[in-house]
């Protein structure tokens, strides 16, 4: 008390602190006395904590007495002392400083809150020389987050308070994020306050943009925009996030979007995740994708609009992530999306999320589920388009493996509901596959269309559903088209000069030749059978024409061209003979398809006589049978003929004539003369496997020929060019004969009476048994018996086999 009355007896640090305050607070800080206080603090750093405590005492007293001018002077003095002193004793001074800042933030006066925030931001930018083991920022996180949600009546004051709150959170992040000794700012208790506060201000960007400042005030106003400041703070926060902290930073974003129903408009949600994906380190992108996938699974029973919003956000995030590192989440993402697609199909069929309607069950709107399904398919396509070729191939195989097919390995659900579910699943997965295959560029068709994938894809091409067949054709077109020519064949026509199409044609590579040698007959067969489908519409024929044209441009050599011409002529025969009882439109469409393709291939081969024959037939049709040309068939109102049974030969493309004109130009005329017969037994795998009886008889015959007893020296035959040519021609003829034999066998089993088939199979079975008995007699010899031999009925000695346990051994063998 005595020291308080006598100024001379007071401690020096108190006198120096008192001297910085003027008599009139409007005069501001006394700078000369402030310099003395600063010099004293630097000279005696052990006094810093007492200086801070005394300043804190004065500030609290001034706040209580509403002497706000002196409060501002005290905070200015504290700021200057903080900037000047970096000694080890600053930690105790900081405690007093934070206590004063907290006192200001607790005030109801906006100006004091802003003043305290500005001082804290200055402190946050100071790099301390010594760590602090016991400092806590929990109060500041809570208070700054609360300021970010200010709802003051005055718009300008509200904006300033929110700005101060965002700056305060930014200061807390900067002060603690890189200091391992500080409280972990990435803990959920802190992230659940910081992230929603920033998103709340981002969400109100429209409110900030609704003000239209004058051009001179525009730069200043832009700086005072809480939304932009919140975005910068969020970017800084995410940019500092380490691998283990991404989850804690993303989860509050998802919860905020759920609580405020921000998935349905999806504009704000997409903006948030674009900020996130461009702010985090690229190698952490897959963690965000995983969080979104998990959230999509967690919301699998939410409204379709909510799930569609999540999928749209996932699409945008995945495209950005693909430019960095997606990691092991590629197939996980596609697996989740395909699972959601199946669930959506089930919801649409059952009408509820529980599989059965009951009281209180939420009714599902089918059109919303359809929108969700389209969003999933779009997401699959957009993400796959950013993947490298090898990953895209894996995704294609993965999706195809999910398509339900009636095979041994994939069970198909029965019943009407099961059939609808199978059909919708097949359509949705094929749509997804079409999205993935669009724009797929692969120089090697063997890797683009591997055997296991092509077999499954083509097996769906023969389904009864017309929509599924169309998807398969479009998928094949996407894979084969590597030079962007598909849109040039979107319309079927007989152009007199195809140079106007400006086709991009490259020479067929060796890999493509190998692919066609292996799979050409399989492709031809499915094209041929697809042409015979009664439910085909114009889009099917356009797709078939595009597929034929693209095979001719991308994968054709002379042998492929010959086979394609034979195939189209066989399609013409289908329309002419009409064994399938096709409608008039289908027959006219097949005639028109053949005319359009042969017109194209004739100009691609550039054989004048071939072009002339095709041109003559087309001109004849134009005059007398326009219903056999695409210009009259593939239009909105087709002009058809009611009688196609009396088609004269002048209207048809003749195989003999084509074989003659192409044979003179070096093409295989012998092969051209042979009619095309599809391998109808490929699906049942009968063409590649002989019967067991034939296999055994063949083996016995080979063994007998190679036995030493019948081996004879055959003089070596001289190999010449004529010998090789003859062998090749003979092999082609044998192959065609074999196909004809197989066709007859299949036809016999389809049309013969049951008794005849049973008798035939019985004879084959007895033949098989006799062959097996012969083999067993040859290969299995009974061991000689120790008891000697016995005499057979015909007087010949025969070995008699006795079991070991019945044999009598000599006494010498017993020990």
pLDDT single digits (tens) 19-35 = 888 888 887 788 888 88
Euclidean distance between CA atoms 144 and 148, whole angstroms: 6
- Is residue 131 over pLDDT 70? no
Confidence (pLDDT) at 684: 40
Q: Name which residue leads in pLDDT, 777 or 636.
A: 636
The pair of structure tokens assigned to 12 is 């020096």
Lowest mean pLDDT among 41-50, 174-183, 744-753: 174-183
As a three-state string, the secondary structure of 64-96 is HCCCHHHHHHHHHHHHHHHHHCCCCCHHHHHHH
Confidence (pLDDT) at 620: 93
Most confident of 62-76, 98-112, 119-133: 98-112
Is 176 exposed, middle or buried (CB count within 10 Å of its CB: 0-12, 13-18, 19+)?
Answer: buried
Confidence (pLDDT) at 252: 95
Confidence (pLDDT) at 243: 86
Say if 153 falls within a structural domain. no
Say if 673 falls within a structural domain. yes
- Is residue 481 over pLDDT 70? yes
Lowest mean pLDDT among 210-219, 568-577, 649-658, 758-767: 210-219
The domain boundary residue, chosen from 114, 130, 146: 130
Write the DSSP symbol of residue 652.
S
Euclidean distance between CA atoms 789 and 205, whole angstroms: 108
Euclidean distance between CA atoms 155 and 221, whole angstroms: 13
Contact criterion met (CB below 8 Å) for 591 and 571: no
- Is residue 609 over pLDDT 80? yes
Euclidean distance between CA atoms 506 and 555, whole angstroms: 9
Say if 74 falls within a structural domain. yes
Which uninterrupted H or E stretch holds 421?
helix 415-437
**Which domain range does residue 657 map to?**
481-685
Euclidean distance between CA atoms 449 and 480, whole angstroms: 9
Arithmetic mean of pLDDT, 42-46? 76
* Residues 6+ positions from 652 with CB-CB distance below 8 Å: 572, 576, 617
Confidence (pLDDT) at 91: 65
Mean pLDDT of the chain: 80
pLDDT band at residue 222 under the 50/70/90 scheme: very low
Confidence (pLDDT) at 223: 54
Confidence (pLDDT) at 350: 83
Arithmetic mean of pLDDT, 379-394? 86
Euclidean distance between CA atoms 480 and 516, whole angstroms: 12
Arithmetic mean of pLDDT, 241-268? 91
Lowest mean pLDDT among 584-598, 685-699, 768-782: 685-699
Question: pLDDT above 70 covers what percent of the chain?
Answer: 79
- Is residue 780 over pLDDT 70? no
- Is residue 801 over pLDDT 60? no
pLDDT band at residue 472 under the 50/70/90 scheme: very high
Confidence (pLDDT) at 59: 81
- Is residue 450 over pLDDT 80? yes
The pair of structure tokens assigned to 476 is 């094949």
Lowest mean pLDDT among 306-320, 620-634, 655-669, 774-788: 774-788
As a three-state string, the secondary structure of 669-728 is HHHHHCCCCCCCCCCCCCCCCCCHHHHHHHHHHHHHHHCHHHCCCCCCCCCCHHHHHHHH
Euclidean distance between CA atoms 815 and 807, whole angstroms: 17
The domain boundary residue, chosen from 130, 162, 197: 130
- Is residue 772 over pLDDT 90? no
Lowest mean pLDDT among 91-100, 137-146, 369-378: 91-100
- Is residue 523 over pLDDT 80? yes
Euclidean distance between CA atoms 621 and 639, whole angstroms: 13
Arithmetic mean of pLDDT, 780-790? 48
Cβ neighbours, 10 Å, residue 456: 16
Confidence (pLDDT) at 90: 64
pLDDT band at residue 710 under the 50/70/90 scheme: very low
Q: Is 131 helix (H, G, I), strand (E, B) or coil?
A: coil
Say if 634 falls within a structural domain. yes
Confidence (pLDDT) at 611: 93
The domain boundary residue, chosen from 88, 110, 130: 130
Say if 709 falls within a structural domain. no
- Is residue 229 over pLDDT 50? yes
Lowest mean pLDDT among 7-11, 318-322, 759-763: 7-11
Say if 672 falls within a structural domain. yes
**How many domains are contained in the chain?**
2
Confidence (pLDDT) at 565: 94
Confidence (pLDDT) at 127: 74
Confidence (pLDDT) at 136: 81
Confidence (pLDDT) at 786: 47
Largest CA distance in the chain: 151
Helices and strands (DSSP H and E) totals, the chain: 35, 2
- Is residue 608 over pLDDT 80? yes
Confidence (pLDDT) at 603: 92
CA-based nearest residue to 86, from 55, 130, 43: 130
- Is residue 134 over pLDDT 60? yes
Arithmetic mean of pLDDT, 98-119? 88
Say if 180 falls within a structural domain. no
Arithmetic mean of pLDDT, 627-648? 86
Phi-psi map region of 48: left, alpha, beta (phi>0 left; psi -120 to 50 alpha): alpha
- Is residue 621 over pLDDT 60? yes
CA 728, 513, 569, 665: dihedral to nearest 10 degrees? -60
Arithmetic mean of pLDDT, 348-370? 71
Confidence (pLDDT) at 299: 92
The pair of structure tokens assigned to 751 is 């049309």
Euclidean distance between CA atoms 276 and 268, whole angstroms: 12
- Is residue 111 over pLDDT 80? yes
Report the predicted TM-score, pTM, of the whole model to 2 decimal places: 0.71
Euclidean distance between CA atoms 298 and 251, whole angstroms: 13
Q: Name which residue leads in pLDDT, 671 or 132.
A: 671
Confidence (pLDDT) at 531: 93
- Is residue 130 over pLDDT 90? no
Confidence (pLDDT) at 320: 85
Confidence (pLDDT) at 406: 67
pLDDT band at residue 416 under the 50/70/90 scheme: low
Arithmetic mean of pLDDT, 810-814? 52
């Amino acid at each position: 008390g005595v020291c308080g009355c006598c100024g001379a007896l007071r401690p020096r640090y108190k006198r120096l602190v008192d001297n910085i305050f003027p008599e009139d607070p409007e005069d501001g800080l006394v700078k000369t006395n402030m310099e003395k206080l600063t010099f004293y603090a630097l000279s005696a750093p052990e006094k810093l904590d007492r200086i801070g405590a005394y300043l804190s005492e004065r500030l609290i007293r001034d706040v209580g007495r509403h002497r706000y001018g002196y409060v501002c002077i005290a905070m200015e003095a504290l700021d200057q002392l903080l900037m000047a002193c970096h000694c080890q004793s600053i930690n105790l001074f900081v405690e007093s400083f934070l206590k004063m800042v907290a006192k200001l933030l607790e005030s109801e006066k906006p100006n004091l809150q802003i003043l305290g925030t500005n001082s804290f931001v200055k402190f946050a930018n100071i790099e301390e020389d010594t760590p602090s083991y016991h400092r806590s920022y929990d109060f500041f996180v809570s208070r700054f987050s609360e300021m970010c949600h200010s709802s003051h009546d005055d718009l300008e004051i509200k904006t300033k308070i929110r700005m101060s709150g965002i700056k305060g959170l930014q200061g807390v992040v900067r002060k603690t994020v890189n200091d391992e000794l500080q409280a972990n700012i990435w803990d959920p208790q802190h992230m659940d306050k910081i992230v929603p506060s920033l998103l709340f201000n981002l969400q109100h960007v429209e409110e900030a943009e609704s003000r239209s400042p004058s051009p001179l005030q525009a730069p200043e106003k832009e700086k005072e925009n809480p939304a932009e400041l919140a975005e910068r703070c969020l970017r800084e926060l995410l940019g500092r996030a380490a691998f283990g902290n991404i989850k804690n930073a993303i989860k509050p974003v998802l919860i905020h979007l759920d609580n405020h129903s921000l998935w349905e408009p999806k504009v704000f949600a997409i903006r948030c995740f674009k900020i996130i994906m461009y702010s985090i380190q690229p190698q952490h992108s897959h963690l965000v994708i995983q969080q979104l996938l998990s959230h999509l699974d967690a919301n699998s029973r939410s409204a379709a609009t909510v799930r569609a919003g999540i999928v749209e956000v996932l699409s945008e995030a995945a495209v950005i992530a693909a430019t960095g590192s997606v990691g092991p989440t590629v197939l996980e993402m596609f697996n989740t999306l395909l699972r959601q697609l199946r669930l959506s199909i089930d919801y649409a069929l059952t009408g509820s999320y529980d599989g059965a309607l009951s009281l209180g069950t939420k009714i599902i709107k089918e059109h919303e589920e359809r929108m969700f399904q389209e969003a999933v398919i779009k997401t699959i396509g957009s993400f796959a388009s950013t993947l490298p070729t090898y990953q895209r191939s894996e995704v294609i195989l993965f999706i195809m493996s999910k398509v339900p097919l009636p095979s041994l390995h994939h069970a198909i659900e029965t019943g009407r509901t099961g059939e609808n579910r199978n059909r919708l699943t097949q359509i949705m997965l094929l749509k997804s596959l079409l999205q993935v295959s669009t724009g797929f560029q692969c120089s090697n068709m063997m890797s683009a269309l591997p055997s296991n994938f092509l077999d499954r894809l083509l097996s769906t091409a023969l389904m009864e559903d017309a929509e599924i067949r169309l998807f398969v054709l479009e998928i094949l077109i996407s894979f084969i088209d590597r030079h962007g020519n598909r849109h040039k064949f979107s319309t079927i026509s007989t152009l007199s000069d195809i140079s106007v199409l400006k086709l991009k044609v490259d020479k067929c590579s060796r890999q493509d030749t190998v692919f066609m040698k292996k799979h050409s007959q399989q492709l031809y067969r499915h094209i041929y059978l697809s042409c015979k489908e009664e439910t085909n519409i114009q889009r099917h024929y356009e797709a078939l024409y595009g597929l034929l044209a693209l095979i001719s441009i991308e994968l054709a050599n002379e042998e492929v061209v010959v086979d394609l011409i034979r195939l189209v002529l066989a399609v013409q025969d289908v329309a002419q003979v009409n064994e399938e009882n096709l409608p008039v439109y289908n027959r006219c469409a097949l005639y028109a398809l053949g005319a359009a393709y042969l017109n194209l291939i004739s100009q691609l081969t550039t054989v004048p006589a071939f072009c002339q024959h095709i041109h003559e037939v087309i001109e004849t049709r134009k005059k007398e049978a326009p219903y056999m040309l695409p210009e009259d068939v593939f239009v909105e109102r087709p002009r058809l003929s009611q009688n196609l049974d009396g088609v004269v030969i002048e209207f048809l493309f003749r195989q003999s004539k084509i074989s003659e004109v192409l044979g003179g130009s070096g093409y295989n005329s012998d092969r051209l003369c042979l009619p095309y017969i599809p391998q109808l037994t490929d699906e049942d795998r009968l063409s590649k496997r002989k019967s067991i009886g034939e296999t055994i008889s063949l083996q016995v015959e080979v063994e007998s020929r190679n036995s030493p007893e019948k081996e004879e020296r055959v003089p070596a035959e001289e190999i010449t060019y004529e010998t090789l040519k003859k062998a090749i021609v003979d092999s082609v003829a044998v192959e065609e004969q074999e196909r004809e034999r197989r066709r007859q066998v299949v036809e016999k089993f389809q049309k013969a009476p049951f008794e005849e088939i049973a008798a035939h199979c019985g004879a084959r079975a007895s033949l098989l048994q006799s062959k097996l008995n012969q083999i067993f007699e040859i290969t299995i010899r009974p061991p000689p018996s120790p008891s000697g031999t016995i005499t057979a009925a015909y007087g010949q000695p025969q070995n008699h086999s006795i079991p070991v346990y019945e044999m009598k051994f000599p006494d010498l063998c017993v020990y």
